[in-house]
Structure 1
Amino acid sequence: MDDQELDEGFKERFEALLARFPSMKMAADIAGYSAEQLAKWRDGKARAPLRPIANLCQASATSLDWLVFNREMPSSTIVTATDGELPDVVWIPLLEVIASAGPGYENARPYELRRLPFPRTWLQRLGVPEKYARFLGVDGDSMEPTIMDGWIVLVDTRPKHARANGIYVLVDGPNVRVKRIALGWQNSIVLISDNERYQSEPLSPPDAEALQVAGRIVWAGGEI
């Protein structure tokens, strides 16, 4: 394989490696370089140094030998999420749930699709115990620019009621929604879309009490 073929293959594999992270910013923080620099490596505009590439491979349980040479290492030598050798990374379940930033999105019983790496220090700073952290996908534009259509968000699944202002995952039968909640007088609440094109939805105390909360969103490409 000549250098051009190697470079093209590396670009494709490096793009697949970056896709294992919930955001480019997270991958950049783990690599120790800017997101702009990672984009240059991905697009073949610059050659990537070994150390940040090795850090990304370790954090995502990816074979460095596969990334560089397109060779699979024996499974016994590949770092996995359960090896305990990644003290700075936690592996958070990505659920098969689409939370709609809009009128509601019907979901079947969710199950774990896979696990995504997340910096342990970030999770500690957010104050979310690992066992209560889950990733969900978001569909729709009503929460833009805070949460963009297609983003993955990190949810603290402990809150089951809206006791403070914030962005929550709401359940209405089979439908799952994402809305900002503002607390009003005498236990009333307002469901707010950050996109100004959408109207707010005030809920009286009885309806507010009946609202089912599946958790609070604490990260969406950045702390919110």
Structure 2
Amino acid sequence: MARPESDPKTPLAARLRTLRREIGDPDRDVVAKAVGVSKSALASYERGESEPTASVLRAYSSEFGADLVWLLTGDGAMRGGAAQQLVAGSSSIGDIVRLPRFDAKASAGNGLIAVDQMPAGEVAFGREFLRNLGANPEYCYILEARGDSMWPTIPDGALLIVDSSKTEVDDGRIYHFNVMDKVLVKRARWSMDGKLHLTSDNQAAGYPPEVFTADRVHELSVGGRVMFTGHAPMPVR
């Protein structure tokens, strides 16, 4: 006899469980494979012990027609809700992708605490525009940069398009890094001895690089590569 499932700890967890049951997947095999996670990770999402990433939520939408607004807020229909109907009614359905926007502000300074990692909304972009950036449209999300350490490349308040499919750290590229409980936007530099240096572009401000050796790898994860920086015209300094 199967063990009864415990009650979900969060509204999102409850909606994920409801959706899976609606799909008719009691053992989680179909959903886990479709969204690209293990069955144990899926069970953790549905208990509310952990939260799915933006790419996983998008997979729920693309694979099962789940409405992202419903997933995130509970408003509207589970599948084929108002937001999807609006897009479906347009002749440009294949040309538009809605990127999740996160309230967690990535620091282009000394690091901000990542308080809320759930998407706070969506922003529509042209699929071709994202492809021309070299990004995978299905894996992009938006963060806001705070601080001046990446000036003038990334000014304070800039909106960043990040591609979560690009987690291999190349020398000289800018990435969204999660370092313990901090969210950072830094340029990656590899030294000859194999150390990873998270560096700032604003050298005049004197921000020291953060250096990661093999024994510190567990402290670092890569959210994705910054593909585009959007901001208002900057004042003359």
TM over 0.5: yes
Tell me which of 112, 121, 124 is aligned to 1:117. 124
Quick check: 2:170–2:188 contact (8 Å CA) kept in 1? Answer: no
Partner AA of 1:205 in structure 2: T
Partner AA of 2:162 in structure 1: V
Matched, 1:215 2:224: yes
- Quote the offset at 1:107 in angstroms: 1.5
* 2: CA distance, partners of 1:200 / 1:190: 10
Partner AA of 1:106 in structure 2: I
- Quote the offset at 1:199 in angstroms: 3.0
Aligned length: 146
Match in the other structure for 1:205: 213
User: TM-score by structure 2 length?
Assistant: 0.55
* 1: CA distance, partners of 2:210 / 2:114: 25
Task: Name the structure, 1 or 2, with higher relative contact order (CA <8 Å, separation 6+).
Answer: 1
Match in the other structure for 2:148: 141
Match in the other structure for 2:193: 186
* 1: CA distance, partners of 2:101 / 2:182: 18
Q: Would you identify which runs of 4 or more consecutive aligned residues in structure 1 move more than 6 Å? A: none
| Structure 1 gap ranges (5+) | 1-75
Q: The residue matched to 1:128 in structure 2 has which SS?
A: coil
Match in the other structure for 2:184: 177
* 2: CA distance, partners of 1:177 / 1:98: 9
- Quote the offset at 1:145 in angstroms: 0.8
- Quote the offset at 1:84 in angstroms: 4.7
Match in the other structure for 1:80: 86
Partner AA of 1:85 in structure 2: S
Match in the other structure for 1:96: 103
Partner AA of 2:206 in structure 1: Y
Question: What is the aligned-residue RMSD (CA, Å)?
Answer: 2.5
* 2: CA distance, partners of 1:147 / 1:93: 20
Matched, 1:106 2:106: no
* 2: CA distance, partners of 1:202 / 1:111: 27
Match in the other structure for 2:62: none
Partner AA of 1:179 in structure 2: K
Partner AA of 1:199 in structure 2: Y
Q: The residue matched to 1:209 in structure 2 has which SS?
A: helix
> For 1:136-166, what per-residue CA distance to the aligned partner results, in whole angstroms no more than 9, with x for missing partners?
1111111111111111100011233423420
Partner AA of 2:151 in structure 1: E
Quick check: 1:95–1:114 contact (8 Å CA) kept in 2? Answer: yes
- Percent identity over the alignment? 29
User: TM-score by structure 1 length?
Assistant: 0.58
Partner AA of 2:169 in structure 1: A
